[in-house]
Structure 1
Amino acid sequence: MFNKKTVDIAILGAGPAGLTAAHTLADKGMDFVLLDKEDKSHLNHQTIALHPETLELLDAINVVIPVLSQSTHLNRACLYDSHQKQRAVIDYSELTVKFPFIAVIDQDKLETILIDALKEKGYKPKWHHRARCIEQSDTNVAFTVDRLTEGMTGYAVAHMEMEIDKIFDYKANYVIAADGNHSLAREAAGIDYPEITRDLHYAVFELTTETSLPMEMRMIIEGDHTHAYWPMGPRRCRFSFQMNSESSDQDRGGSSPDLENTHLMALLKAHAPWFKAPIHDVTSRKLVHYQTHLADCFGNNRIWLAGDSAHMTPPTGMLSVNIGMHEAADLANRLSTAPNDDVRQFRLHAYNADRTGEWRRLLDIDHHIVGDDSTAKWLLRHRNNIIGNLPASGESLSAILKQLHLTDAA
């Protein structure tokens, strides 16, 4: 019943971060396994926006061409106040980078591209493999993996449930934990995951329209609320409206009045009166509950975090998914280029320092972002709306802050 497995590096979670780590390790010829408790059919269907530096990362692992062909490219992101006055503009075309734009793509399309390209490199995720009982020692990480299969249960009404088909005992020298905000690996490492801001609630709609749409991202700041518009193609878009309600999609589901067409039209009239396109269809509607979390550290000993296992941020700027992919590639590079375990440990502790510092900067925890003119003063008055919501990261962040008349004084 029990099979024993040993591997140098185990990646837990086959989302964008875990798949990026797998590509990086595959390109280095490393011994690794990529495990995910779900099936490929459970790929995430939400929309994401890839920052310029993330496109460079995808270029480095040789998958950027299909990503660019299946995404919508945006050159601008605009910030508006409650009176629909444009207060600031981010112009990505002015950045001195290889890909001076944002690429908007469905997450399941991105993940499918990464999975197919990984298969061409001779690797594939182990779907329906659930890790549990994770314990680390000074020399390795031991954990149990259940291989799951569908089984039929129920007498009066039959239905499908997941059953354990086989159990494996794994030992890995290191674990890259990309297993999401409910990370079992993070818990096994004893790393706290505190909430750093209040809970946020959004009504999210994806629409198709009968006419063309503005091809720029728009962020609308109204008091302590932030609403966002993302075009996903010439006649397709996504709105996220921040709500006062304590509802969530788990609490009230699709039956919530907040998701009805009449409420959608009221939200558009109140927060996006410029949106005049006739709506052809509402392809997705959901209430989403966000908590902003930042782990106390990015790993210890032999378990190291990347992506949502280490942080969760508001949805507007899509920082978590972009930075998480970079973290995963960074971890994989540090593990694959070290000549021995002592050097690995040294580089991993440097990873923790680097990533902790990066997130303090991204979230401006120390309030180092300053500015003096009227644009900067308005932005800083709405610091809590904007910091962590800007679709900007990496080395481009300083240039984008400059476009917004802001400076990081750190």
Structure 2
Amino acid sequence: MNNTDVLIVGAGPVGLTVAIVLKQLGHDVTVLDAQAEGANTSRAAVVHAHTVELLERYGVAEPLVERGVHTPTFTIRDRDRLLVPVPFHGLPTRYPYTLMISQADTEAFLLTRLKELGAEVLRPCPVTKVEQDLQRVTVTLEDGRVLHAGYLVGADGIHSTVREQSGIGFTGGTYAESFTLADVRLSGGVPHNEVILYFSPAGLVVVAPLPGGLHRIVAIVDDAPRDPSIAFVQALLNKRGPEKQPAIVHEVLWGSRFRVHHRVAETFRKGRVLLAGDAAHVHSPAGGQGMNLGIEDAVSLGETLARVLDGDSPALLDSYAGIRRPVAEKVVALASRLTGLANATSARRPLRNLVLGLAGKIPAVRRRLAWQLSGLDRRRNMPFR
């Protein structure tokens, strides 16, 4: 354990994916996580087509596809009015849909695959210090243990210790509003085969199906409660969701609140330290890109590191950083635009709806959005393919 090819800090979907790629390609990895056990809550719930394609070659796509809900359409609506339909069924992929699945399930499938490949996650192992020289990275844990690795991957989230200890800036800002998140049982006028971004004068709400007949609710609110109640979620849907046939909330199984940042790390590589996922970029959940972008980072980084460990030039790692950072900036900008549209003032709402309604009738616009949201437009940003 004290010496490894690659030390990965963070055992969420991003860290686990990096580890799977490297193990399958024949390299030693050690995965650390600060938590005593993996979280069992939903959190991210959207897996897009490009992400499933990437995971296919690493033995994870099949269980995800079997477990998740296949939603062939993403729509932007203003209450009952359909503004922009974004169908995925015509895309050139084996997975022409958005796959809705709990992040807990995604992590469980990734962890199962990692164990099949002969690796484990070491918990709880908080990192307190990161140092590097020309030959290796040295990591000190909270309990005093010292580990050495050829390379260190920071996949430890928005408050990344690896990023902070490495002196990498994380520029951007924070949305003034808070977000509420809940997994609920509901009935009524919400389609079961769509991921819906509802616009309204009261603000944004996202409604999406999950396995087991559940729905994921995400909304921008001024002051989100820690544990959203049935009454709170019902009030959100009454003000922002369908009107002619209202959605009725019967049960809240889990809920949370969070603040959303829009930030990108100043660099994704500093010597032998590399960043991926939320440690490198964070943004609004509009469009469901966060975990998908992180898994793309993970596959790209894992494959690049494997090449370097096999003898290729370490300069390849600059290519990883140089390609992935502009991709992250583009996705952060897309999520910000969607959030800005959703938060349009009442005075601007009629013009916004007119423009979106007209744009939504243009096939080229719908196709472009489908390519962007599915991640297929980022295929060209992956190395060695």
- TM-score interval, normalised by the smaller of the two chains: 0.7 to 0.9
1:40 is aligned, of 34, 37, 60, to 37
Q: Output the amino acid matched with 1:270.
A: K
Distance apart, 1:96 and its partner CA: 0.5
Matches within 5 A, 1:294-309: 294-309=264-279
Shift in CA distance, 234/19, structure 1 to aligned 2, threshold 3 Å: closer
Contact 2:185–2:250 (CA<8 Å) still a contact in 1?
yes
Q: Which runs of 5+ in 1 are unaligned?
A: 147-163, 380-387, 399-410
Task: Say if 2:79 is the partner of 1:98.
Answer: no
Separation in 1, partners of 2:311, 2:128: 25
Whether the aligned pair in 1 keeps the contact of 2:180 and 2:255 (CA below 8 Å) is yes
% identical aligned pairs: 24
The answer as to whether partners of 2:233 and 2:249 remain within 8 angstroms in 1 is no
Residue 144 (str. 1) matches residue 140 (str. 2)? yes
Distance apart, 1:24 and its partner CA: 0.2
User: Within the alignment, does 1:330 sit opposite 2:300 as a pair?
Assistant: yes
Answering whether residue 183 of structure 2 is matched by residue 186 of structure 1, we say no
Letter in 1 for 2:205: H
Separation in 2, partners of 1:210, 1:391: 30
Deviations 1:106-141 (A, max 9, x none): 111111111112111111111212222111222211
Measured in 2, the distance between the counterparts of 1:53 and 1:334 equals 18
TM superposition shift of 1:298: 1.0
Report the counterpart of residue 362 of structure 1 in structure 2: 331
CA distance in 2, matches of 1:360, 1:171: 32
Could you tell me which runs of 5 or more consecutive residues in structure 2 were left unpaired when the two chains were aligned: 339-353, 361-368, 380-385
CA contact (8 A) 2:202 2:240 kept: no
> Contact between 1:323 and 1:393, CA under 8 Å: does it hold in 2?
no
SS at the partner of 1:170? strand
Distance 1:136 1:377 in 2: 55
Deviations 1:349-377 (A, max 9, x none): 11111012212322348x999xxx94487
1:291 is paired with a residue whose SS is strand
Residue equivalent to 1:23: 20
- Give the residue type in structure 1 aligned to 2:114: L
Provide the C-alpha distance between the structure 1 equivalents of 2:212 and 2:189, rounded to a whole number of angstroms: 5
Which residue identity lines up with residue 175 of structure 2 in the other structure? Answer: R
Deviations for 1:192-249, whole angstroms, at most 9, x for unmatched residues?
1122453341222221136795120111234694321111147311111211x2x356
Any conservation in 2 of the 1:17–1:328 contact (CA below 8 Å)?
yes
Distance (Å, rounded) in 1 between the aligned partners of 2:247 and 2:358: 33
**1:296-321 superposed Cα distances (whole Å, 9 cap, x missing partner):** 11121111100000011112322121
Which residue of structure 2 lines up, in the alignment, with residue 264 of structure 1?
A: 233
- Asked if the contact 1:316–1:391 (Cα under 8 Å) also holds between the matched residues in 2, the reply is no
The one-letter code of the counterpart of 1:188 is Q
Using the size of structure 1 for normalisation, the TM-score is 0.78
Paired with 2:30 and 2:309, the residues of 1 have a C-alpha distance of 20
Greater gyration radius: 1
Give the TM-score normalised by the residue count of structure 2. 0.83
2:4 matched residue in structure 1: 7
Equivalent position of 1:352 in the other structure = 321
1:155 corresponding residue in structure 2: none
CA shift for structure 1 position 97: 1.1
1:395 matches 2:376: yes
Contact 2:190 2:242 in 1 (8 A): no
- Coordinate RMSD, CA, aligned: 3.1
On the 8 A contact 1:362/1:393 being kept in 2, the answer is no
Aligned length: 354
Shift of 1:340: 6.6
Report the equivalent of 2:287.
317
Per-residue deviation, 1:40: 3.0
SS at match of 2:46: strand
Q: Please list, as runs of the form range in 1=range in 2, the aligned pairs for 1:6-405 lying within 5 A after superposition.
A: 6-81=3-78, 84-146=80-142, 164=143, 167-196=144-173, 198-209=175-186, 214=191, 215-222=193-200, 225-233=203-211, 235-243=213-221, 245=222, 247=223, 253-254=226-227, 259-274=228-243, 276-338=246-308, 343-344=313-314, 346-364=315-333, 374-375=355-356, 392-396=373-377
Q: What secondary structure is seen at the aligned counterpart in 1 of 2:238?
A: helix
Deviation of 1:47 (Å):
4.3
Distance between the aligned counterparts of 1:40 and 1:212, measured in 2?
Answer: 38
Distance 1:377 1:368, change over 3 A: farther
Kept after mapping to 2: 8 A contact 1:80/1:218: yes
8 A contact 1:72–1:104 mirrored in 2: yes
The residue number in structure 2 matching 1:160 is none
For 2:321, the aligned partner's letter is N
Letter in 2 for 1:316: A
Q: Contact (CA 8 Å) 2:186, 2:248: kept in 1 or not?
A: yes
